[in-house]
C-alpha cells in the first residue's frame, strides 16, 4: 500500500514515525532498550509522500486549487489528512484527484481541526465520488468496517483502536505488547511500563497506564469536545486503559465514551 499524507500538525510526523519505526522513535525502556518493536519492522517503503502545509496561511483561501497544485502531491492509495486549512479540506475532491487516492483518513486530535459541519461536508463529497473515508476522533478510536482499503491499512500496519496480547503469571503481567497499536505508537510505550504489574492491584495498574499515556505523551487535545462532552486526550486515555482491561480480563474498569 502507498501512503501519502498532507498535514499541518506534527501529530502526523508521530504517526509516520511509528510506521517507519526508526531506532530512536520510542524511548520506553531507557536506559536499555528491550527491542520490543524489532518484530514490527519498518514500513518506510510504503510512505510515498509527506507533504507539510506551510503556516501561516490566510484566514480564507479563495483559490484552494492553486495551493493544492503548489504542494506537488504524490500519487498514493491511501491519503492521511491531518489538521490542514479548512478551505483546503473542503476541496478534498481536488486532493483525491491530485493523488489518485482510493481511501482517505482524516484523524481528529483536536476539535478545531475538523468541526462536525465540515466533517459532514467532506464525508458527503468523498461518499459521492466513491472514496472510502474515516474520521476517527481521536485516531486511536479507528476500528474495522470503514472500507476494504482502510481495513487493510489497519491490518497491515497494526494501527487503530488498541488491542494487546498478554501472558499472565501469578496474577502479574509477565508479557504484553500490541496486537494493534494506537497510530501514534503510544500502545507500545504503555505495554513496556506495565510489564510485571499485578492485575489484582488495579489502582496501581491504572495509575501506571495513565502515567505512561501522559508521559509518552499523548498529543490529543485537552480542549473539551462538544460531541463527547470530554477532552479528546481523556478519550484516548480511556482507550489505553480499556485495551489493557480487555487483555487481562478486568471487567469493572471500562469507560464508555460514545459521541452524542
DSSP characters for 132-158? EEE--SSGGG--S-S-HHHHHHHHHHT
Please compute the mean of the pLDDT values over residues 227-249 and round it to a whole number.
Answer: 96
What is the structure's pLDDT at 28? 66
CB-based contacts of 97: which residues, under 8 Å, 6+ apart? none
Are 88 and 64 spatial neighbours (Cβ–Cβ below 8 Å)? Answer: yes
Using CA atoms, how far apart are residues 60 and 240, in angstroms rounded to an integer?
Answer: 38
What is the structure's pLDDT at 260? 56
Please compute the mean of the pLDDT values over residues 166-194 and round it to a whole number.
Answer: 96
Residue 65 above 60 pLDDT? yes
The residue among 167, 162, 141 whose CA lies nearest residue 233 is 141
115-119, 231-235, 255-259: range with lowest mean pLDDT: 255-259
What is the structure's pLDDT at 148? 98
What is the structure's pLDDT at 31? 66
What is the structure's pLDDT at 195? 93
pLDDT band at 253 (very low <50, low <70, confident <90, very high): confident
Please compute the mean of the pLDDT values over residues 74-98 and round it to a whole number.
Answer: 97
Residue 55 above 80 pLDDT? no
Q: Which helix (H) or strand (E) covers residue 70, if one does?
A: helix 64-70
Using CA atoms, how far apart are residues 119 and 137, in angstroms rounded to an integer?
Answer: 11
Question: Domain coordinates of the chain in residue numbers?
Answer: 3-157, 163-248
Name 184's bridge partners: none
Residue 258 above 90 pLDDT? no
Please compute the mean of the pLDDT values over residues 206-218 and round it to a whole number.
Answer: 95
For the full predicted model, state whether its pTM sits above 0.85. yes
Cα–Cα distance list, 198 to 96, 172, 175, 201 (Å): 49, 4, 12, 6
CATH 3.30.70 applies to domain 3-157: no
Please compute the mean of the pLDDT values over residues 66-91 and round it to a whole number.
Answer: 95
Report strand pairing: 172-180 vs 224-225: unpaired
pLDDT band at 246 (very low <50, low <70, confident <90, very high): very high
Cα–Cα distance list, 182 to 78, 120, 128, 163 (Å): 18, 24, 29, 9
Question: 20-30: per-residue pLDDT in tens?
Answer: 998 878 766 66
Amino acid at each position: 500500500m502507498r501512503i501519502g499524507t498532507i498535514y499541518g500538525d506534527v501529530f502526523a510526523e508521530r504517526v509516520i514515525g511509528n510506521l517507519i519505526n526508526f531506532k530512536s522513535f520510542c524511548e520506553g525502556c531507557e536506559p536499555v532498550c528491550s527491542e520490543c518493536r524489532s518484530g514490527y519492522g519498518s514500513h518506510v517503503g510504503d510512505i510515498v509522500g509527506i507533504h507539510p502545509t506551510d503556516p501561516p496561511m490566510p484566514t480564507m483561501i479563495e483559490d484552494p486549487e492553486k495551493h493544492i497544485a503548489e504542494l506537488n502531491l504524490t500519487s498514493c492509495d491511501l491519503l492521511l489528512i491531518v489538521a490542514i486549512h479548512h478551505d483546503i479540506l473542503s476541496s478534498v475532491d481536488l486532493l483525491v484527484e491530485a493523488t489518485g487516492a482510493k481511501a482517505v483518513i482524516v484523524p481528529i486530535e483536536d476539535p478545531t481541526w475538523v468541526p462536525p459541519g465540515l466533517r459532514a461536508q467532506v464525508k458527503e463529497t468523498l461518499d459521492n465520488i466513491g472514496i472510502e473515508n474515516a474520521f476517527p476522533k481521536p485516531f486511536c478510536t479507528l476500528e474495522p468496517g470503514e472500507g476494504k482499503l482502510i481495513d487493510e491499512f489497519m491490518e497491515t500496519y497494526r494501527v487503530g483502536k488498541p488491542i494487546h496480547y498478554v501472558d499472565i503469571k501469578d496474577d502479574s503481567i509477565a508479557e504484553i505488547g500490541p496486537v494493534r497499536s494506537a497510530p501514534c505508537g503510544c500502545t507500545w510505550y504503555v505495554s513496556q511500563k506495565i510489564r510485571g504489574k499485578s492485575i489484582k492491584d488495579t489502582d496501581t495498574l491504572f495509575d501506571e497506564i495513565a502515567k505512561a499515556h501522559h508521559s509518552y505523551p499523548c498529543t490529543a487535545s485537552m480542549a473539551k469536545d462538544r460531541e463527547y462532552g470530554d477532552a479528546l486526550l481523556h478519550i484516548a486515555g480511556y482507550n489505553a486503559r480499556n485495551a489493557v482491561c480487555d487483555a487481562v480480563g478486568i471487567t469493572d474498569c471500562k469507560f464508555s465514551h460514545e459521541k452524542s
